[in-house]
Chain A
Amino acid sequence: MNEELIVAGFGGQGVLSMGMTLAYAGMVEDKYVAWIPSYGPEMRGGTANCTVIVSDTNVSSPIISSYDTAIVLNQPSLEKFEPKVKPGGILIYESNNVLNPPTRKDIDIYAIPAAIEAAKLGNKKTMNMIILGAFLAKRPLVSVKSIMEGLSKVLPERNHHLLPVNKKALKHGMELIK
C-alpha cells in the first residue's frame, strides 16, 4: 500500500491538521509517513495545502507531481488539483464551497456537503473530520482508533474535550459516502 494524497483548501478549514492527523495515524500503525505543508501568503484565509504519504515501504519523495487522492475544500483548490489526480484515483470535494463541480470521467468523484453536516453536529470546525471519514470509507488506510490517537496528538490538550465530537464527525463522514 502506498497512498499519495493532497489536501487543499482555505487556511482555517483544518486542511493541515486533517493531513497531520492522518500522518500520525499512519505512524501509529507502523507505516512510513510523510506530511509536507505549503502555505499561501496569509496564515488564515489564504490557500493552504499539504501532501500526505502513507506507505508500507520507505517514502522516496514527499515531492510528487500527481496524486492517488485529492481532497479539496474550495474552488481554487479543485481547479488546481483535479488535473493532478492519477487516472483511477479519487477526488473528494466539499460541495458547499464549490460552485463548478469537477468534470473528469476517469476518476472517482465524491461530493460531500461537510460544512452543512458539521453545522448539524453543532461544531462547524469538525468539517475536516467529516471529509476525512468519507475518505477513509473509500480508502481504509488506518483504523478509526489510530485516527483518534493521531488527533489527540494534533489537538492541543486544552481542546481535548472536543475529541468525542470529532469522533462522531469522523463516523458520520464514513456513513455519508456509503
Chain B
Amino acid sequence: MGKKLLMKGNEALAEAAIRAGVKGYFGYPITPQSELLEYMATNLDSRGGVFVQAESEVAAINMVYGASGTGVRVMTSTSSPGFSLMQEGISYMACAELPCLLVNVVRGGPGLGTIQPSQGDYFQAVKGGGHGDYKLIVLAPNSVQEMADFVYLGFDLTDKYRNPVLILTDGALGQMMESVEFPEYNPEEHLVDHSSWTTVGRENGREQHYITSLHLLSEKMEEINIHLQDKYKTIQKNETRFESIMTEDADILIVAFGLSSRSSQKALELAREQGLKVGILRPITLFPFPSDELKRLANSVKGILVVEMNAGQMVEDVRLSVGSNIPVDFYGRMGGMIPQPDEIVQKIKDLSKQVKI
C-alpha cells in the first residue's frame, strides 16, 4: 500500500483509474461528479491517456464505445440524468461485449431533481437500464477507499468478462473526503489480450474484425442473447460480493448498500447499545445480487429492514430472495435526503415490536 491521502471520493475514483492504466476518458460536466471530470482534465494527458470533454453524455458514451473497440481501458462518469442519456450506448456495448468502466454518481430525481445524493438509479443500474436483455456488473462502494479499490476491480472484471462495469455511488460519497491508500497495481500485469476482436486495422493482412450489435436474423440474435445470459450466470456464480456485519447473532437484519449502509452502521451501533441484536448485510455487487446469502440469513433472523435512499428499489430484490416467510420492512428517504441513524433505529424498534422480539 502507498501513502495515505485525504481525497474526495470523486478524486479517488479518477486517481485510481489513472493508476489502473485508463487510456481514454470521455465525459460531460454534471454535478455532483464534475470533480472526476476535472481531475482527468488536469492529470490524464500527462499520465498516458487522453481526456475529451464531449458535447453531451450521448456523445461521451459513444466515444467510449469507439475507443473500447480498440482494446484499451476506457471510462466515463456522469450523474443520474446523464446516465439516463447514456443508456442506448450502454445497451450497444453490452451486446457488442465491449469492456468499459462506467461511474454514476447518483443524485436525486426524477427529472432534473436535485444535486444531492440518492440511490434512485438502482433499477436502471441493475436491471439493464436501456433496451433489451442485458446486465451490467454493478459495484457499490461505501467509502472513499472502496471508490479507489473498485476502480481496479472494475477494470479487471470488465476486461475478464467483456461486459461493461458500473460503479454506482452517490453525491455524498463523491463529495466527501476520507483517507485513502492506493494499492500497488501494475496495469501491465492485469491487461487482457483483446487482439482477437479489436478494430485497429487489418494488421499484417489478417482477416477483418468488426464490432456490431446488429443481427437481423432472429435465430442469430437469440444465440447472442443465450450467450449473454450464460455469461451473466457465470458472473452470478463467481463474482457475488457482500459484507456481513454482526449477522451471526442478529434478530433484525438491515440490508443496505453504499452510503445508506454507513448510516445503517451507525444505527447498528446505537441499537446494540440499547440491547437490540442488529446485523447488516451489505451487497457490494448489486448485480450479481447476494441472494443466496440473504436466503441463508433469513433462516436465522426474525425480521429484515431494507434501508435505501429511494422509494424502495433494492427491497424488491430482497423480497424475491427471501420469499414471504419473513417480514421485510423498508425505510427510505428520497430527493437527496439521507436516512439518519436515529430514524433507522426507530424503524428497528418498530420492526422488533412487530416480530415480538
Cβ–Cβ < 8 Å partners of A20 in chain B = 177
Cβ of B329 under 8 Å from chain A:
no
Q: Are A63 and B340 in contact (CB under 8 A)?
A: yes
A36 touches B263 (CB 8 A): no
Q: What residues on B are CB-neighbors of A34 within 8 Å?
A: 176-178
The yes or no answer to A110 lying at the interface (CB within 8 A) is no
Question: When chains A and B are docked, how far (Å) is the Cα of A24 from the Cα of B263?
Answer: 23
Q: How far is the CA of A10 from the CA of B264 in the complex (A)?
A: 30
Does A23 reach chain B (CB closer than 8 Å)?
Answer: yes
Tell yes or no: A33 within 8 A of B by CB: yes
A12 at the interface (CB under 8 A from B): no
Q: Sort chain B's interface into a size bin.
A: 20 to 34
Of the listed residues A27, A59, A60, A63, the one surrounded by the most CB atoms of chain B closer than 10 A to its CB is A63
Residues of A within 8 A of B340 (CB): 63-65
Any chain B CB within 8 A of the CB of A32? yes
Q: How far is the CA of A38 from the CA of B265 in the complex (A)?
A: 21
User: A interface vs B, CB < 8 Å?
Assistant: 20, 23-24, 27, 30, 32-38, 59-66, 153
Chain B residues with CB under 8 Å of A59's CB are: 178
Known: A63-B259, A63-B341. A27 touches B179 (CB 8 A): yes
Q: In this complex, what residue of A is CB-closest to B269?
A: A60
| Identity of the chain A residue whose Cβ is nearest the Cβ of B259 in the assembled complex | A63
B105 interface residue per 8 A CB criterion: no
Q: Say whether B266 faces chain A, with CB atoms less than 8 Å apart.
A: yes
Identify 7 residue pairs between A and B in the complex whose beta-carbon atoms are under 8 Å apart, listed by A's number.
Answer: A20-B177, A23-B6, A23-B177, A61-B263, A62-B176, A62-B262, A64-B340
| Set of chain B residues within 8 Å of A64, measured between Cβ atoms | 266, 340-341
State the CA gap A61–B265 with chains docked (Å).
Answer: 7
Q: Is B338 in contact with chain A by the CB < 8 A criterion?
A: yes
The reply on B342 being an interface residue by CB < 8 A is yes
What are the residues of chain B within 8 A of A33 when measuring CB–CB?
A: 6, 177-179
Min distance, Cβ A154 to any Cβ of chain B, angstroms: 10
* A38 CB contacts on chain B under 8 angstroms: 116
Q: Given A63-B266, A64-B341, are A36 and B176 also a contact pair (CB < 8 Å)?
A: yes
Q: How far is the CA of A33 from the CA of B176 in the complex (A)?
A: 11
Least CB distance, A35 to chain B, in whole angstroms: 4
Which 10 pairs, one residue from A and one from B, show the smallest C-beta to C-beta distance? A61-B266, A36-B176, A60-B265, A35-B177, A61-B262, A65-B342, A65-B340, A63-B263, A27-B179, A60-B266
Contact between B6 and A27, CB atoms less than 8 A apart: yes
B198 on interface, CB distance cutoff 8 Å: no
